[in-house]
Structure 1
Amino acid sequence: MIENYAGAFPLWLAPTQAVVATITSDADGYAEEVLAKFRAAGLRTEIDLRNEKINYKIREHSVAKVPAIAVVGRKEAEEGKVAIRRFGSQAQTIVTVEEAIAMLTDEALAPDLKRIRDGQA
């Protein structure tokens, strides 16, 4: 499996499915809330509250091949949103926390379980 995916596991197989990373320390409290919601939804999630530049954090988690990085800052905290960055992509999608959870939990479901859920077993 490791050789097949070259370490870049799909979200359903990755040991860490998402990382919540802050832009500034102002968003630390909101990041903790997002982390709690992600974990409550069953996502294997970590948090990065270090006092580092966001580009450094993103690069570091990309090197670790984390499938999704949820970036939060002051603006996202005010709006109740997260910016989702996918491994291997420069683009980011800004969505509500609930939309992010729905998107990621669907992707986190293993293919065989999706077939059962969809009645194709």
Structure 2
Amino acid sequence: MSGSVLTIPRSLANALLADAQGHGGTYGLVGARAGRPTSLYPCASPAGEGSLLAQLRDRGESLFARYRLLPESRSTPAVADWASLQDAPWLLVLSTDTQGVLALRAFARDDRQEANLVLSND
């Protein structure tokens, strides 16, 4: 793991968990206000992310991260996941092939290394 640390609100982690449990898509965006991640924008495919980016910006947010839900136990980004990060500093990868536990990992775009993920109390 690299020396990077990513802190996200516990409520955002809970929203990611709900999305992983089938309430959203398999891809998505995380919006931020003043650099703090605040909103989740689930999407069924990467092709739909363009309209979500417009919605995110219309709400006065900036793109904080992209996320990917993986139905298998692999929780390492694929080549296509890295290719989508030209405009987002973080990639969140959630593995949904677990029994009762969500595997959530964060990767920094710049060094492509896993970051220490910390949950803050909202």
TM-score, with structure 2 as normaliser: 0.35
Going by fraction, where is strand more abundant, 1 or 2? 2
Q: Which has the larger radius of gyration?
A: 1
- Structure with bigger helix share is 1
